[in-house]
Amino acid sequence: MLFVKKSQIPGAGMGLYSDTLIKKDAKVLEYIGEIITWAEAEKRDDDGEGGYVFYITKNKCIDAYAEPKNLARYANDARGLTRKEGCRNNSFYAVRNRRAYIIASRNIKVGEEIFVWYGADYWLPWIESLKAQEQRKSDEAKAKAAHKKVKIVVMPHHHPKKSSR
């Protein structure tokens, strides 16, 4: 049986765990949710309602955003942005007959968190966003430092004397 509790990965939120041994190559569970297009998934993400979409084709994506009972959405990626020593992926996603599953890539022990590789396509936009944020911070710090170096001298306003002519 699978259950949800706080993930071992810092900042990842909730994680998916098993209270039974899962054998290598076994289906852990199916990724279920609303079937939408990729265009709709992008729109929802722009509206702040994304993060749980599984892409199968541009016309078939599974959106689990409104499906908190879909336990598959709680499987985290141990190779993601925040890593914890000793945590490594123990499963992968597979599409079979246009349905998505989490499959065990090795035996998963009782009480172990289920980690699944999201793929480079998932992480690339996050990495680019973080790099852009770091660049903005660096640029702001440089501008602030440069501003401190500028010495502003205020000169009194000088009025030319009126001539007596």
Q: Are residues 114 and 46 in the same domain?
A: yes
The answer to whether 14 touches 4, Cβ cutoff 8 Å, is yes
Q: Are residues 97 and 147 in the same domain?
A: no
Q: Are residues 10 and 80 in the same domain?
A: yes
Q: Are strands 34-36 and 99-104 parallel, antiparallel or unpaired?
A: unpaired
Q: Higher pLDDT residue, 82 or 45? A: 45
Q: In what order do the strands lie in the sheet with 60-63?
A: 34-36, 60-63, 53-57
Question: What tokens were used for 124?
Answer: 């690339």
Stretch 59-79: mean pLDDT: 91
What domain range is 98 assigned to?
A: 2-118
How confident is residue 109, by pLDDT bands cut at 50, 70 and 90?
A: very high
Q: pTM of the entire structure? A: 0.71
Q: How many CA atoms lie within 13 A of 160 on its CB side?
A: 3
Question: What tokens were used for 144?
Answer: 């602030």
Cα distances from 102 to residues 76, 98, 132, 136, in angstroms, run 11, 13, 32, 38
Number of domains in the chain: 2
Residue 158 has pLDDT above 80, yes or no: no
